[in-house]
Chains A and B, each alone.
Chain A
Amino acid sequence: MTEPDREIAKPQGFIGKYVFSTDHKVIGLQYTFLALFAVLVAMVLSWLMRMHLGWPDVSIPLLGMLSPTGAPGGLITPEYYLSLMTIHGTLMIFFVLTIAPQSGFGNFLLPLQIGARGMALPRLNRLTFWITFGAFCVLLSPFFISDGPPITGWTAYAPLSAVGPIGGPGEGMGQDLWLIAIGLFCLATVLGSVNFMTTTLSLRARGMTLMRLPLPCWAWFLTAVLSLLSFTVLLGACILLMMDRVAGTSIFLPAGLVVSGELLHRSGGSPMLWQHLFWFFGHPEVYITILPAMGIVSHIVSCFSRKPVFAYRAMVYSLMAIGFLSFMVWGHHMFVSGMNPYTGFAFAVLTMVVAVPSAVKAFNWMGTMWGGRLRFTTAMLFAIGFVSLFVTGGLTGLFLAQPPLDAYLHETYFVVGHLHLIMGMVVIFAIFAGIYFWFPKMFGRLLNETLGKIHFGFTFIGAYVIFMPMLFLGLEGNPRRYSALTDNFLKPLVPLHQFITVAALVVGAAQFIFLFNFFWSLFKGPQASENPWEATSLEWTVPSPPPPGNFPGALPKVYHGAYEYSVPGAEKDFVMQDSPEEISAS
């Protein structure tokens, strides 16, 4: 009995083609454009924060009109500073760093790289994007209510996040909306993870064994496992917090809380419980952001070194080790919470252990490049920049992993510098590398390499210029999340803050070079061939952009691993995965 073929998503009208599509390529681009919009909004928020830190008495143009309660006369109030910080962090971590590498690139590329016509569950995929979009709208909606967004940071620590409107501006409906947005985001991410895992396990082409998978596919798969297990914990935590806020429970609220002169009639709850639940999610979350980035960079570095990934198996196992260990180190965010020093010791040791597979990867990227015939395309430059920032940011993490050092450095700018280097800059560099690499495949046109290199120069140097000084600020004891640097020991540091602000604004402006390049090339860039980079993976065997159904004709059969570059005796310096050319397995 012949079973009917599955329908290949064919474009039907504007809505069916671009809005409610089940085509994974469209959905991947929808996520990518959502992340692009989110990063612009979050970047502007960071500019406002930085301007306030450097020049708190200077009125910011237009802001007084846009936020009359938060910034009367263009001067940001302390509470509004915290609101900006909260939404900046939430947007960047969830809607940029979690979405772009995984849901953006992953949705577009996973079926192509494994040789499938689409994701396993296309309608679920469509649903998850629109839930994510809904979450985005809900997250930004507090800017339009009188109290504004919440002030508790992306970490939403109890008890401030649990006490309700008496906690301050934004702690009423603003915090409720934040919780709803994050809850929706958790749901969408978990459903997306089901799709990624099912697709990778079930839809690989003939000959595509697990050990022939391109590294991004491994990374997307393992990230999906991490998401599946950690975002549900965040969902549970958000439900519990919502109960404290609206149902009168005392899960995170201790006895004796006096807020704004009012004694709260709750008791028995534990703010520490929120921290444990949040960071049990929060630490895997940062690995969720970086694992796909690592996969993407491995792929790009190999292509532009014209060499196989150094120790492919070690790269796979280290991805697994990092993912596994990421669930065991959450306490390093809580060293100063009063935990038993032996517990602190255990978390510290495990945190240092995570550095081992990370170092394996860093050495392997360098090993991949060593002796290769390097091609310094913009994508390669951003990939190398990724390795540089990964080492720098990672090393600062080792400082923070020591409880005695963290006792001093916790809640200082050292942490801010660390997290922006290792998470902000590192993952953003991987996203840029991925965009410069896959733009031809996604849109059928080439980005301008000269503009790309200028963009790289500003961004790479800028990353260090902005965030290295923050490490010094932290060592000087500059606390984070302060909107006013008026203490006697902070006033001398203001000039350094001003320097950082100027650097941030310059680097921010340089991003418009990228935006111009992106949108101009979208319409006017030179046409891209099927395989402009001479890469080996399956997405480079199809037209740019790929048609509905991805592979015109039959699905590919895979004969080789993903990194057959400079194979001795081969016809060219690369052998594509679906090429029947025989090569010696050495």
Chain B
Amino acid sequence: MEAAILTPSKPSPPGDCVPPPGKGNDGGGGGQGGRGGDGSRGPSNPPLPLGAYRIAIWIALASISMLFLALTSAMVVRAEISGDWVHTAIPPILYFNTLVLISSSLTLELSRKALRRAAGNKFARWLYLTIALGILFLAGQFVAWRELAARGIYINTNPGSSFFYLLTAAHAVHLLGGILALLYLVFRRRQIIAVPRKRIAVDVTAIYWHFMDGLWIYLLILLMVKL
């Protein structure tokens, strides 16, 4: 009779501290970290494997992509069907805003690099700059909308302008969420610097932020194309 297969747990990712195997009745669970209870604390609950947070943010980004894909397809269809499409000329400030957003991605990476070298002050300062650039981007988007309004182009002026406002606003809302996440990192900076495990919060926020950056570039190109 073949022995039943016991699949061993996956090895822990590098950089994650794994304690030596404890007593036999320790929680073996997710596979990483967390020495088992000594009986008096109750059953152990090992920390969530760090990879799980990464999986979660990528899944969330897949759903956000799907939203913008749906809006893109609606836009393309609307542009093609009625012959009343008017292309909205891109307010020049949008190019400046794009540079601001790309810079914010760079500063966020510098912040992460500082954190990896355990340079707490630099980590915080590059983080503040990232947030400032993010807010500057949103302010710039607002200026772009006012510029359009000054030209008499509002959300209901023509279908092209409707989608211009919609796509930029949808992106801005998601970016605002990213700014709130960055503010959370600032709020928790002391724990993040002290406890290596908590740095995953910075990693997933960075993945989200860079994605928002890439999404913006995609939207800019889409809005520039004369449909």
Contact = CB atoms under 8 A, between A and B. Distances in A.
Do A and B share a complex? yes
B43 interface: yes
A201 B82 contact: no
Contacts of A203: 29-30, 48-49, 52
Contacts of A276: 77
B52 A198 contact: yes
Contacts of A121: 56
A5 B82 contact: no
| Range class of the B interface residue count | 35 or more
Interface in B138-196: 155-156, 159, 162, 166, 170, 196
**Would you call the interface of chain B mostly helix, strand, loop, or mixed?**
loop
A207 B63 CA distance: 30
Interface string A183-216: 0000000100111011001110111010000000
Contacts of B56: 120-121, 194-195, 197-198
Interface in A241-259: 243, 247-251
A209 B55 CA distance: 18
B28 interface: yes
B215 to A, nearest CB: 14
B43 A552 contact: yes
Residue of A2, A267, A273, A558 contacting most chain B CB atoms (<10 Å): A2
Interface string A1-19: 1111111100000000000
Contacts of A231: 63
Contacts of B8: 206
Contact of B78 (A2, A193, A269): A269
B222 interface: no
Interface in B80-101: 81-84
Contact of B74 (A116, A120, A273, A560): A273
Contacts of A584: 1-2
A120 to B, nearest CB: 5
A201 B77 contact: no
Given A206-B8, A268-B84, A270-B77, A247 B162 contact: yes
A68 interface: no
Given A207-B5, A233-B70, A585-B5, 18 more contacts: A8-B42, A116-B29, A117-B45, A120-B52, A194-B63, A198-B59, A201-B55, A202-B48, A202-B49, A206-B6, A209-B7, A231-B63, A232-B63, A237-B70, A239-B166, A249-B162, A273-B77, A583-B4
Interface of B: 1-9, 17, 19, 25-31, 33-37, 41-49, 51-52, 55-56, 59-60, 62-64, 66-67, 70-71, 74, 77-78, 81-84, 155-156, 159, 162, 166, 170, 196-197
